[in-house]
Amino acid sequence: MDEAGRDGPMIADDRIGRAVVDALRGQDLSGFELWRWLGSAQSIPGRLTEARLYATLYRLEAEGLLQSDWHEGERTRRRYRPTALASERDDEPAGPPDASRANQGQFGTPAGEDRRPVSPDPEAGSWFMPREMAPPTRRPAPPPRAAAASHPEHPAMAAAGPPAGAPPADSPAATSGEAGRPGRVAIAAYADDLGARLDLPRLECDRVRQEIADHLVDSAGALELHGYGSEAAAADAMSRLGSPSDQAALIEQAEQTPARLRRAIRRGVLVLVAELVLWLFLSVAVLVVAPGVTDAVVAAGRLAGIHLAVLESAEWATNQVAAMVCLGAFAAGRLSMGLLARISRHGDATLRKPWAVGGAAGVLVVALLLPGYQDALTVATLLLAPLAFVAGTLRPQHANEHGYSPRGAAAAILLLAIATWLPFGRMFAYDPNATPGTPLAQGGSVPMTVFETDTGAYEYGLPQSTGNGVFTVELWPAATEGPFIVVDLSATEATISVKAGVPGSDDTVAPAGAQSVDLTKLPPFRQWWVVAVETGPNGQRTALDVVIQTGASPRLSSALGWLISKL
């Protein structure tokens, strides 16, 4: 089927692409230089127009046939070159002759020569053209209207070259003070308008805006060298690119390919999963460090005269994992959103809603099915994970930003502390004198040792030289009132009383002579008020030490199972 058929536009685009790639063999050219090289070729299939120049270049980049980078210190700093994939395609059987090869004679490339000069020097002959094409003599520049009439195709002006003695357009003499010229002001406004209309990531918008501005400045400069005024040259250059809205639509269509979007989604999902796995792995370190930190906090409280207790239960440990899931969800939202926008070439606002909803749904499934020991606080923390992901998408990480800043790390630590240790969470205060009829011994308490045996039972120890009375350890059911732990007011006596042993120098050895307590066989209280009591010969009871101990943990379950059980 010929180009007029159903596949005509695709065939034309492919031939234009081949012409562009072939024009870049052996040289790196900017978009404007490439246009000056190819734009006057009348036989390019599909007629590459200046308005579609950058859409074509961006499409070839998306297909992996071109790559580009900035060259500082030049008028036009973004230059293109073919990739290895383009070379591989050249090795395929050749189809109909393409534009660049068919017109090599027109551009003055000697027969059999495959390489042209790299980045042609404007001072070597005419602008961006081989030296042999520069005319031997130069005519005076026509006035603007005559120039427009005699040069209807802008690229053909390259053959005439700049007037004798005129400085190159990228020389200091040509650029000094040009920022305030009326034409340059109009070009800057055009570029800003284009950037505002583009649905591209911020860095990509900056790149397109700068590249189009460079092209327009070079184009207007070439026209000015042929007699155009500053404003007329800028207006003519902008008219050739079309309106900012039309140019933006062409560029977006070229940049936002389905292949890029599919690749971006795959990478985004991979980052989401990787971040959750990473933070779940980091939760192991938190579980190792947290008991020591809580012990230090409790010890500091005692020095300050405040009795603190942290219920280091299985639910407490699960809650730390849940807090790490929230942090991982936030990081996943931030990193994946930025990556998704960069790869797909879509703006954040376009992708945010569907990505936030889809990602939050996936995080919610993980949070609901994550196994652990659940209570109300743990389940609430897990249910915050999807919201954390959505919050992360509101602050995506772009290419020039760090994923984890010191400020972000401090916020993460603060969130973990709030979820784990602060009052109304996992840290409580208690009054040692709250044991009914048992005041705390004067002169300070005697430290009681709590030891968990291999069977899961507990044994308690007191120093051997404590006193001459009878020493027992009583377990009272405890309840919480706000940030305080108190003896359950419904209890009239201790649930169980056991003999305390004598602890050794090694904390890994159970206290000698102690009786064990299996909490799983006691009533299912969430925490116990454990008090070491000395009973004197006259029956007077004195509390030597008080600790708060968590009861038997519930069965391993998930947040979903906990919610179902409460319905």
Q: What is the DSSP string of 325-337?
A: HHHHHHHHHHHHH
Of residues 106 and 386, more confidently modeled: 386
Predicted confidence (pLDDT) per residue in 361-392, tens digit:
999 999 999 999 988 889 999 999 999 999 99
Say whether both 197 and 302 belong to one domain: no
Residues 126 and 191 in one domain: yes
**CB atoms near residue 392 (< 10 Å):** 28
Over the chain, what is the mean pLDDT? 78
In this structure, the answer to whether residues 222 and 303 fall within a common structural domain is no
528 and 541 housed in the same domain? yes
Q: Do 475 and 383 share a structural domain?
A: no
Say if strands 308-310 and 427-430 run parallel, antiparallel, or are unpaired: antiparallel
Work out the pLDDT band at 554, boundaries 50, 70, 90: confident
Residues 324 and 211 in one domain: no
Task: Identify any residues that bridge with 558 across adjacent strands, giving them in sequence order.
Answer: 371
Residues 342 and 419 in one domain: yes
Task: Give the list of residues 6+ apart from residue 12 with CB closer than 8 angstroms, or none.
Answer: 3, 45, 46
The answer to whether residues 303 and 281 belong to one domain is yes
pLDDT at 369: 95
The average pLDDT across 102-123 equals 35
Distances in Å between the Cα of 4 and the Cα atoms of 12, 49, 53 are 10, 18, 22
Structural domain range at position 251: 8-255
Question: Per the domain annotation, does 83 fall within a domain?
Answer: yes
Task: Check if the beta carbon of residue 475 is closer than 8 Å to that of residue 533.
Answer: no
Q: Bridge partners of 477?
A: 528
What's the pLDDT tens digit per position in 31-77?
998 888 876 555 565 567 889 999 999 999 998 899 998 887 656 67
Residue at 3 is within a domain = no
* CATH at 445: 2.60.40
Task: Report the range of poorest mean pLDDT among 119-123, 155-159, 557-561.
Answer: 119-123
Question: Exposed (0-12), middle (13-18) or buried (19+): which is 445, by Cβ within 10 Å?
Answer: middle
For residue 406 the two structure tokens come to 């010191």
Which of 255, 285, 303 is the C-terminal boundary of a domain?
A: 255
Q: What is the average pLDDT across 494-499?
A: 92
Is residue 564 assigned to a domain? no
Residue 90: what pLDDT?
63
* 189 pLDDT above the threshold of 80: yes
List the single range of 9-18, 170-179, 529-538 with lowest mean pLDDT. 170-179
Task: Answer yes or no: do 322 and 185 share one domain.
Answer: no
Do 463 and 403 lie in one domain? The reply is no
- Domain presence at residue 516: yes
Single residue among 227, 255, 283 that ends a domain in this structure: 255
Note whether 61 and 170 are same-domain residues: yes
Let me know if residue 308 belongs to a domain. yes
Q: Which residue has the higher pLDDT, 149 or 339?
A: 339
Q: Which residues contact 459 (CB under 8 A, 6 or more apart)?
A: 451, 453, 501, 510, 511, 514, 515, 516, 517
Average pLDDT in the 266-272 region? 95
- Is the CB of residue 333 less than 8 Å from the CB of residue 386? no
Q: Same domain, yes or no, for 387 and 309?
A: yes
Q: Which of 57, 46, 36 is nearest to 125 (CA)?
A: 36
Q: Report the percentage of the chain scoring pLDDT > 90.
A: 34
Distance CA 107, CA 130 (A): 8
> How far apart, in Å, are the Cα atoms of 183 and each of 33, 152, 211, 434?
21, 20, 17, 85
pLDDT score of 40: 58
- pLDDT by residue (tens digit) across 435-457? 888 888 876 668 888 888 888 89
User: Could you give the number of structural domains in the chain?
Assistant: 3
Structure confidence at residue 2 (pLDDT): 42
Determine if residue 82 is left, alpha or beta; phi over 0 gives left, psi from -120 to 50 gives alpha, anything else beta: beta
CB-based contacts of 235: which residues, under 8 Å, 6+ apart?
A: 183, 186
State yes or no: pLDDT of 517 exceeds 90: yes
Label each residue of 467-481 as H, E or C.
Answer: CCCEEEEEEEEEEEE
Is residue 357 a part of any domain in this protein? yes
Domain membership of residue 61 (yes or no) is yes
More reliable by pLDDT, 126 or 419: 419
Which of these ranges, 118-122, 182-186, 212-216, 380-384, has the smallest mean pLDDT? 118-122
Distance CA 500, CA 471 (A): 7
Per-residue pLDDT at 174 exceeds 70: no
202, 224, 255 — which closes off a domain?
255
Domain-located, residue 239: yes
- Side-chain-side CA neighbours of residue 492 (13 Å): 0
Give me the mean pLDDT over the 505-516 stretch. Answer: 81
Q: What percent of the chain has pLDDT over 70?
A: 76
